[in-house]
Amino acid sequence: MFKKLFSGLLGDAKPAAPKKEREAIEYKGFLIIPDPQDVGGQHRVSGWIRKPVEGGETLERRFERSDVVPGEDACVELTVAKSQRYIDDIGDEMFEQEH
């Protein structure tokens, strides 16, 4: 019992496997990649918005909202809806310096 407790405190625990990125959802030339974050059994709305541009480059913006929902699927749906609204409101300006 104490070994498990101390190994967790001292960093001897095995690292978590990296999460597989979700499939992108295309919206008005942008790609929305939901990345719900587990916060104590609920899921925080977060993800990436990317936009492919000429020359093979991809612009990207990470976002995280304060919204949390109990189900992962519901979180993905809310993430997509909020991302679409953000794209409609801000558009390409999201890739400029802080707006």
- Give per-residue pLDDT as tens, 55-83: 889 999 998 999 999 999 999 999 999 99
Tell me the Cα Rg of the chain: 17
Indicate the number of domains in the chain.
1
How high is the pLDDT of residue 72? 93
pLDDT in tens, 13-40: 555 545 677 899 999 999 999 999 999 9
Host domain of residue 52: 17-95
- In a domain? residue 22: yes
Whether residue 9 has pLDDT greater than 60? no
- In a domain? residue 12: no
Q: What band does 98 get if pLDDT is binned at 50, 70 and 90?
A: low
- In a domain? residue 10: no
pTM, full prediction: 0.75
Q: Are 45 and 68 in contact (CB under 8 A)?
A: yes
- In a domain? residue 9: no
**Number of C-alpha atoms within 13 angstroms, CB side, residue 31?**
13
Higher pLDDT, 57 or 12: 57
- In a domain? residue 83: yes
- In a domain? residue 5: no
How high is the pLDDT of residue 8? 52
Burial of 63 (0-12, 13-18, 19+ CB in 10 A): middle
- In a domain? residue 33: yes
Does residue 83 sit in helix, strand or coil? Answer: helix
- In a domain? residue 90: yes
The CATH number for 25's domain is 3.30.160.350
Task: Please report, to the nearest 10 degrees, the dihedral formed by the alpha carbons of residues 35, 76, 90, 49 taken in order.
Answer: 30
Q: Are 64 and 54 in contact (CB under 8 A)?
A: no
- Output the six-digit token pair for 66: 């304060």
d(CA 72, CA 74): 5
